[in-house]
Amino acid sequence: MQEDEHIDCDGRTTGPGIRWPDRRRIAVMLTFDFDAEFLRESRARSKGKKIGFTDLSRGQYGPHEGLWRCLEMLERTYVRGTFFVPGIVIEQYRDAVEEIAKRGHEIACHGYAHESDVNCSLEEERTRLCTCEELIASVTGKKPVGYRGPEGVIHPFTPRLLSERGYLYSSSMKDCDWAYQWPDLPLVELPNDVMMDDFTYWYFTFSDPADRSMYPVGDVISDWKAEFDGLAEEGDKIFILKLHPQMIGRGSRIAALAAFIGYMRAHGAWIATCEEVANYVRSQGEAT
């Protein structure tokens, strides 16, 4: 569409027209929600269910096996990722989280016990953030600058709360493929979608009546590639892969992901952490 035909529906879009550094065509972020068993526990809880040993053990595939493959692969492909880590995971798997930080990846906030309660109050959320920020700082030496709601759940008051606490970005919304600045807040939103979330394809459980299937990794990568190609063509978009070490961390999937990283690099991707992209977006906003 012509520039003057841009449909700016809600007045909070700062994304259209952004140009990425070094003439790159798209900003790509590899994000890992390192939830371990608490993803499964909290999801079951939100559906009035409990998990048993099999789901507990499926969740622990993340810290016990998947995470290490993720880290090795990131090392080999020279990618720095963003890890969204619930506070309780830092308590339970401190060595693993310290290793993530040591390798230069970003660690961002993701709730304490992966709480996805839609009715949570402002006070509860503030207290929880406070606890989690201290836990993250105890590993990295600094407060996190990014937040993603567990199961993507944030509340109408969350953006302002994050902003007041000095956060640079949020990555929970699903309303567009642009990075944008929240209205009247110095907070960048980095939206994502269920299509680029490994949970959609590989979350498997018998703990609730969910009828889910396993997708061949080639099919998933092919869908991501179609989406990546189109967004890169548009030139002002972001592409966030939302991955979970307990799902993407299988040998076959990590191998396919590494090859996909190579593909994206060869086709104009700027692969960076969420913090780097959010800083860039903010600097562009200030420049105009």
Residues at the contact surface with other proteins, assessed by CB under 8 A: 1, 5-10, 13, 43, 47, 118-119, 149, 151-156, 172-178, 191, 193-195, 199-201, 210-213, 219, 222-223, 226-227, 229-231, 233-234
The strand pairing partners of 185, in sequence order, are none
Helix axes 251-266, 217-234, angle to 10 degrees: 20
The 10 Å CB-count burial string (b at 16+, else e) for 191-212 is bbbeebbbbbbbbebebeeeee
Q: How far is 195 from 198, CA to CA, in rounded Å?
A: 8
Decide whether 72 or 124 has the Cβ nearer to other proteins. Answer: 124
- Spatial distance between the Cα atoms of 110 and 117, rounded to a whole number of angstroms: 13
Comparing CB distances to other proteins, the nearer of 96 and 189 is 189
Q: Return the half-sphere exposure (C-beta side, CA atoms, 13 A cut-off) of residue 227.
A: 19
**CB of 232 within 8 A of CB of 28?**
no
CB of 129 to other proteins, least distance (A): 17
Q: Which is nearer to other proteins, 50 or 142 (CB)?
A: 50
Least Å from the CB of residue 212 to other proteins: 5
Strand partners, 238: 27
Identify which of residues 137 and 226 has a Cβ nearer to other proteins in the complex.
226
Closest CB 267 distance from other proteins, rounded Å: 14
Nearest-approach distance from CB 28 to other proteins, in angstroms: 14
CB nearer to other proteins: pick between 169 and 178 = 178
| Closest to 138 in 3D by CA, of 107, 173, 162, 171 | 107
Nearest-approach distance from CB 201 to other proteins, in angstroms: 7
Q: Select 139 or 176, whichever has its Cβ closest to other proteins.
A: 176
Cβ proximity to other proteins: between 134 and 175 the closer is 175
In the complex with other proteins, the residue whose CB is nearer, 75 or 233, is: 233
Q: How far is CA 147 from CA 8, 116, 236, in A?
A: 26, 14, 23
Q: How far is the CB of 92 from other proteins (least distance, A)?
A: 24
- The helix or strand, by DSSP H or E, that contains position 31, with its residue range, turns out to be strand 26-33
Rounded to a whole number of angstroms, the minimum distance from the CB of residue 169 to other proteins is 15
Torsion angle in degrees (nearest 10) through CA of 121, 59, 148, 111: 40
226: DSSP letter: H
